[in-house]
Structure 1
């Protein structure tokens, strides 16, 4: 799906250095949009080799290419469905690997009158599993 400039989109990312990215790919059954291994160089979104090695490992998927909406809720619900969240064993995996998990939300608000629409059930679910929902607002 070709993306136009959207006013909102979201990503799901796990940051940790214990397991390789393939562990999370197998766990979720989803190919990542981005992945890095600590202390290794990676290909940037432009296809160039990074100038510096990764400071931490990460595994993540994005909604931007799959959901056309200027609201966050459809993007977050897409990620929840794609990753089959919540998962009862995920909090223990996060603890074992020392991982941090988050939904990272892009929110463009040039007019200053848009209010991010993160559904309460998704925020509660993420907190219960040990994750966070973060909003990066641009004006």
Structure 2
């Protein structure tokens, strides 16, 4: 059976309410794929307005559509390069704004025999900057 969708992709997300999304856009020099401001309605990926206001501020960049691979490593390396990570001032900035950041990885494992391939150097880098790597596995 041939799949019509990728079996992996990743996003880099910052959650916080102190700085507006434009702050993170300027900081990284990258337009987000998704953003929201706490208490405001946002445009969904389908182009509609959300039914409920955002519960937290979000700034997010996704690898989907930019990387063609069923492995996580190329998606994560793309995000690292696009965002110029690591950044020495980012841990203090996260602390000052009360922000949390993560790589969120989609991993399709319907076959049950796939093992997520998060490179050790990327996991170590995220932990050193105060972030996490999370995998959402679908079976």
Please report the TM-score for the alignment, with normalisation by the length of structure 1.
0.97
Deviation readout 1:13-54 (Å, 9 max, x if unpaired): 000000000000000000000000000000111111111000
1:80-131 deviations in whole A, cap 9, x for unaligned?
A: 0000000000000100110000000000001100000000000000000000
In structure 2, what is the equivalent of residue 110 of structure 1?
A: 110
1:41 corresponds in structure 2 to 41
Runs of 4+ in 1 over 6 A off after TM superposition: none
Structure 1 CA distance for aligned equivalents of residues 97 and 39 of structure 2: 17
CA distance in 1, matches of 2:6, 2:73: 13
Match of 2:8 in 1: 8
* Aligned residues: CA RMSD: 0.5
Q: How far apart are the structure 2 equivalents of 1:74 and 1:49? A: 32
Paired positions, count: 136
Unpaired runs of 5+ in structure 2? none
User: Scaled by the length of structure 2, what TM-score is found?
Assistant: 0.97
Task: List gaps (5 residues or longer) in structure 1.
Answer: none
Alpha-carbon separation, structure 2, partners of 1:70 and 1:120: 18
Aligned twin of 2:27 = 27
CA distance in 2, matches of 1:66, 1:46: 18
Please tell me whether residue 64 in structure 1 is matched to residue 64 in structure 2. Answer: yes
Quote the residue 2:126 is aligned against: 126
